[in-house]
Amino acid sequence: MEQRIGSSSQPLEGAGFDPAFVPGLTSPASKETEAEEPEKTAEEARSSSEEVEETAVGEVAEAADAPDDEGADGPVFEASDRRAKIVADHRGVRLALDDQECEFRWDEIGAVETETARFGKRFTLTVHTPDRRWYPIEIEAPARSRFSEWESQLDAVLDAYFEESEEESEEDSD
């Protein structure tokens, strides 16, 4: 007597599992094209992944070697805690939380808003974009006395770079 190992139930078919099940949504996938595709050998897969890594390493090295434009000696605002980091300088505003990062150039920023917690040591910076989106990030300060220092540093950066980008865009429109 034969005994089967595994589930005896058949796989379900339907729109919930296969969008091609609903006629007209997508064209049905032909099994012939899947069989005709040549499979990559382990060496081909390894060489393609090495090429991708070399390209990524080269791009990172180029970005690091690229000279900063003028204004690199201007004011810089940096604040960070164990999870989050905020950097505002001549290039724009960069936010990082754990492994996620985003960067805003000065011409992409509509407004920058700061907020401090009434109780506690949370400093919140929110970047607003012209398309009505906002990106908040919270930094835990070592002490509440750092709030005023961070506010003054951020104001210096905003005065130096944010106003310049608005003036440049007005000159370009004239």
How sure is the predictor about 74, in pLDDT bands with cuts at 50, 70 and 90?
Answer: confident
Total-model pTM: 0.55
167 and 113 Cβ atoms separated by less than 8 Å: no
27 pLDDT exceeds 60? no
User: Which residues make Cβ contacts (< 8 Å) with residue 154, sequence separation at least 6?
Assistant: 77, 88, 112, 114, 125
Q: Rounded to whole angstroms, how far apart are CA atoms 79 and 88? A: 9
14 pLDDT exceeds 80? no
What single-letter amino acid sits at 170?
E
The larger pLDDT score, comparing residue 35 to residue 125, is at 125
How sure is the predictor about 174, in pLDDT bands with cuts at 50, 70 and 90?
Answer: low
The larger pLDDT score, comparing residue 1 to residue 66, is at 1
Could you identify the residue written with the tokens 């204004």?
71
Phi and psi for 53 in degrees, rounded to 5?
-65, -40
| Per-residue confidence (pLDDT) for residue 65, from 0 to 100 | 45
12: its two tokens: 């379900």
28 pLDDT exceeds 90? no
Angle at 60 between CA 156 and CA 108, to 5 degrees: 40
Distance of CA 96 to the CA centre of its chain: 8
What is the average pLDDT score of the chain? 75
- Residue 162: which of 128, 117, 120 has the closest Cα? 128
Helix or strand (DSSP H, E) at 56: helix 42-65
| Per-residue confidence (pLDDT) for residue 64, from 0 to 100 | 44
DSSP state letter for 159: I
| Per-residue pLDDT reduced to its tens digit, 137-163 | 999 999 999 999 999 999 999 999 987
User: Do the strands 100-104 and 111-116 form a parallel or antiparallel pair, or are they unpaired?
Assistant: unpaired
